[in-house]
Amino acid sequence: MTALKFLARRVAATAATLFAVAVVLFAASEVLPGDAATASLDPDATLEDVARERAALGLDRPWPVRFAEWAFAALRLDLGTSAVSRQPVVEIVAEPLGATALLVGVTAAVTVPLAMAVGLISGLRRGGRADRALSAFSVVAVSIPQFVTAGLLVLVFADLVPVLPAISLPPLGGTPLDRPEVLVLPVAALTLFGASWAGRIVRAAVIDADGMPHVEAARLAGLPERVVVFRHLLPAALPPCAHTFAWLLSGLFGGTAVVEIVFNYPGLSQTLVAAVRKHDTAVLEGVGLLLAAIILVSFVLADLLVMAVDPRLRAAAR
Amino acid sequence: MIAIEGLRIEDASGAAVLADLTLSVAEGERVGVVGESGAGKTTLGLALVGAVRPGLRVVRGQVRVAGQDVLRASPADIRRLRRRVLAYLPQDPPSALTPTLRVERQITELSADRSDAAVARTLTEVGLPGDRPFRRRYPHQLSGGQQQRLALARLMAGDPRGLILDEPTTGLDGPMRRLVLDQLEHLAAHRGLALVFITHDLDAAARMTDRLVVLRGGVVVEHGPTDQVLRAPSAPYTRELLAAAPDLRVELDRRTTKPVGRVALEVSGLTASRGGRVVLDDVSLRLHEGESLALLGTSGCGKTTLARCVTGVLRPDSGRVSLFGEALEPGLRCRPVDQRRRVQLIPQDSTGSLNPRRPVGGAIARVARIARRMTPDQARAEAHRLLGLVGLPEELATRLPRELSGGQRQRVAIARALAAGADVLLCDEITSSLDVRVAASVLALLDRLRRELDLAVLVITHDLAVIARNADRVVVLSEGKVVEEGSVAEVLGRPEHPTTRTLVDAGAQRA
């Protein structure tokens, strides 16, 4: 009962946040100079041409009307039409978003278990040789800029030992899945950073949980270490980890740009850069809204995961 | 069954925590280990199951349990020993229950026989229901008493021959303490368990043990049959411990302050709720200048909530709190500094309320500077004066909280409350985590300060000994309501309400 109520409240809060994001996105593109009318016309168009175009696109109506129209359409997953290419935004965005989602998904699938393993090993043997080595490595990995990491990976695995492609272009008309090897280097570059960063936080959570009285009690009760770690310690360490991974996911969606550009990967960043250059506000607003939705949902999922593990939260969540 | 020979354990600086200790426990024998915290009791208990806390080091000696050298045994042997031979019940047993596991799992993960019948038997043996709905519960859905029993049942699941109990009664109120001791006694008798009973509660030791070992600074200062040690102690330290132990009947004769001064603190019609549940229901009380009023009740009766309302941390639903006739703002944020400084709380464990990175002298001076607008120099001088007043040497001013003992920290907390220029002190179970001897000295200090400075003191406690020694009047709280009120002699001598009677009976049992 209470869990359902909590879920309902959480979804409502998410919807409210999403609405706020929509307002900000819309306001930003209103304030920026230029609009769809100026973007779609030649630079030598007269003021009359612009006014005519604005009327044709409905841009002369007051902004609340246009916002309502845009927001309600977005609810039906219709993100409007690009004034530049005259194509629906959903069509423009679908393929690159899929490619980026694939990159992020594969990265997360590698990063999460890796970060858990790194955090557990170094947290349980803190101060030991493995912990010191992993800690040193992750500090280095987090502090090197991603274009350098990506460049180094290309140098080693595409130039010196040419086993992997330096450029991650999928075959013409196909998706990256048709040539999975193109994913390896971008995923590696993202994972190096992600697993190092998340691993540090998992390590701290594991150390915290390791000091809890029930974990010590489980050891003193004579349970095998494997049981102590997986049944008694991990559930206590999970809440901070779950939220870390939600952060990671949102960071990846916004932060793949550098890697995508280094590897020429056909993801969202290429689309976004093009849209910014061409003042294609409809695409920018649409992508912004989609990313915000994805990130918010991942945080709700993290909350649900934590609740599923800890019965006290199920009771306390009102 | 247990044989310790010349065991020496040192800390990182080379100081001995246990100094060449030799001790043996036979099958079915019940041995008490008493002494103050820092005496090495817990280190000893852990060494018996082959555990040594980080930072400690076994220098020499050996511990044999059931013929096995536990300090050199393989991890697998140690695990078997902890499950099947000698189980260890840690301090505050409810906190040892993993919150994410159901009752059933807590039992089965440690038992050899995982059948329904075996689980039910283990549960009913400690007086818990063995039915299915109960076994599906999580620890937070149990009462405090049930959690205590479950922690015990968990260890019994492995059918051990001996049990190490580390301070099983610390922090428990009278009725709960009695329940735990009854349960342990029943279990030990029923199963013929050997017990190593680590405690600073001498009455509990008297009841539970055949033999007593008095430990101080890692050294056995006295050792003998329990009766003999308690009736005719030979070591001076044992005599000191016994003298500090509370005795209700004697204490009742001491002089009390009549409530004649001005009314310092008045609480009227206070009602407060938490999470939709009413925790305080129309509570009224008066505290006079120079008087010590005790607020008595079992855990969870609303005592702490009352303190939170008085300090303003919690906004009550209705009712008012006034100080010398002047109404206090209900919320802390609305309270001017002058109102805040005059009501000061001394918490149960001041470790959490002292900044771990700030020397205690600075912590006291800071309050004097903010609350009484002293200059830094004045505040420093005031901090030194107050440290002297609470009986601490001036050198301690530069120490960090963790470098002080529990009793010293409580004195610092008192000094800090005085630095604010408090008129009313709220003492929330301030001695419950201290040893008898230290607790007695902190209470004596509080009494002296109250008389010298004409402070009004509200003592929140479930410990009758504290009341008998320290309070003039008693207000008994039960389920958020005041159920009894009167002088100490009246309330403890002729308790009327059932709640009071249960508390007093449980207390009288210790004497």
DSSP output for B166-183: ESTTTT--HHHHHHHHHH
Q: Dihedral angle at the C-alpha atoms of B278, B282, B288, B291, nearest 10 degrees?
A: -50
CA angle A211, A212, A215 (to 5 degrees): 95
**Per-residue DSSP letters for A22-61?**
HHHHHHHHHHSS--HHHHHS-TT--HHHHHHHHHHHTTTS
**Which amino acid, B131?**
D
Copy the structure tokens of residue B297: 């009740």
Contacts of B87 in chain A (CB under 8 A): 221-222
State the residue for tokens 């000696």. Answer: B61
Average pLDDT over residues A155-171: 84
Q: Is A227 on the interface with B (CB under 8 A)?
A: yes
A309 contact B CB<8A: yes
| Strands lying side by side in the sheet with B277-288 | B277-288, B263-274, B318-323, B326-327
Contact of B383 with B399, CB cutoff 8 Å: no
Which residues on chain A are in Cβ contact (under 8 Å) with B45?
none
Examine the pLDDT at A175 and tell me if it is beyond 80.
Answer: no
| A214/B158 CB distance under 8 A | no
Residue A231 lies in a domain: yes
In a domain, A84, yes or no: no
The answer to whether B2-244 and B260-358+424-508 have equal CATH topology is: yes
Hey, what are B174's tokens? 């009278």
Residue A274 placed within a domain: yes
| pLDDT at res. B508 | 62
The beta-carbon neighbor of B109 closest among A213, A223, A312 is A223
Interface contact flag, A312 B99, Cβ < 8 Å: yes
Interface probe for A, chosen from B42, B77, B100, B166 (most Cβ of A below 10 Å), is: B100
**Percent of chain A whose predicted confidence (pLDDT) is above 90:** 38
Note the pLDDT of residue B12: 81
For the cut 50, the answer to whether the pLDDT of residue A293 exceeds it is: yes
With CA atoms as reference, the chain A residue closest to B108 would be A223
pLDDT at residue number B511: 42
**Do B235 and B214 meet the contact criterion of CB atoms below 8 Å apart?**
yes
Residue A150 in any domain: the answer is yes
Q: Confirm whether A94 is domain-assigned.
A: yes
Task: Quickly state the pLDDT bin for A277 (edges 50, 70, 90).
Answer: confident
Question: Rounded to the nearest 10 degrees, how much is the dihedral formed by the CA atoms of B30, B144, B298, A313?
Answer: 150
**Residue A318 pLDDT exceeds 50:** no
Q: Does A129 fall in a domain?
A: yes
User: For residue B253, what pLDDT is reported?
Assistant: 59
Q: What is the CATH number of the domain that holds A225?
A: 1.10.3720.10
Q: What is the pLDDT of residue A210?
A: 92
Q: Is A9 touching B (CB cutoff 8 A)?
A: no
- Please give the pLDDT value at position B255: 62
Would you place residue A208 in the very low, low, confident or very high pLDDT band (cuts 50, 70, 90)?
A: very high
| Domain region containing A250 | 89-279
Distance from CA of B187 to the nearest CA of A (A): 18
Q: From CA B407, how far away is CA B443, in angstroms rounded?
A: 10
* pLDDT at B102 (0 to 100): 93
- Topology classification of domain B2-244: Rossmann fold (3.40.50)
Give the pLDDT confidence score for residue B246 in this predicted structure.
Answer: 65
Q: Is B269 left (phi over 0), alpha (psi -120 to 50) or beta?
A: left
* Residues A59 and A66: beta-carbon distance below 8 Å: yes
Please, what is the average pLDDT of chain A?
86
How far, in Å, CA of B425 to CA of B447, rounded? 12
Q: Would residue A51 count as lying in a domain?
A: no
How far apart, in whole angstroms, are the C-alpha atoms of residue A71 and residue A35? 18
Cβ-based burial of B397 (10 A; exposed 0-12, middle 13-18, buried ≥19): buried
Overall domain count for chain A: 1
Q: Identify the three-state secondary structure at position B366.
A: helix
Q: Does A172 touch chain B if contact means CB atoms closer than 8 Å?
A: no
Establish if A59 belongs to a structural domain. no
What is the spatial distance between Cα A309 and Cα A239, in angstroms, rounded to a whole number?
A: 9
CA of B159: which chain A residue's CA is closest? A221
Strand order through the sheet with B456-461: B343-346, B424-428, B456-461, B292-296, B473-478, B481-487
Long-range contacts of B224-232 (CB under 8 A, 24+ apart): B226/B32, B230/B202, B230/B206
State which residue of chain A sits closest to B160, comparing Cα positions. A221
Positions of chain B with pLDDT lower than 70, given as ranges: 246-257, 259, 508-511
B53 CB near a chain A CB, below 8 Å? no
Domain boundaries B260-358+424-508, corresponding CATH code = 3.40.50.300
Name, in order, each residue with C-beta under 8 angstroms of A243's C-beta and a sequence gap of 6 or more.
A299, A302, A306
Amino acid at A143: S
Using alpha carbons, select from B74, B54, B147 the residue that is nearest to residue A207.
B54
Please give the span between the terminal C-alpha atoms of chain A, in angstroms, as a whole number: 9
Q: Is B282 helix (H, G, I), strand (E, B) or coil?
A: strand
Q: CA of A301, closest CA in chain B: separation in Å? A: 19
Bigger pLDDT: B509 vs A32: A32
* DSSP element (H, E) containing B294: strand B292-296
For A233, the closest chain B residue by CA position comes to B98
Residues with Cβ within 8 Å of A260's Cβ and at least 6 positions away in sequence, in order, are A100, A103, A186, A267, A268, A269, A270
Q: Where are the domains of chain B?
A: 2-244, 260-358+424-508
CA distances in angstroms from B102 to B118, B137, B150, listed in the order given: 16, 5, 11
B74 touches chain A (CB under 8 A): no
**Structural element, H or E, at residue B20:** strand B16-25
- Sign, CA torsion B240/B241/B244/B246: negative
**What is the reported pTM?**
0.79
Across A27-36, A62-71, A217-226, A227-236, least confident range: A27-36
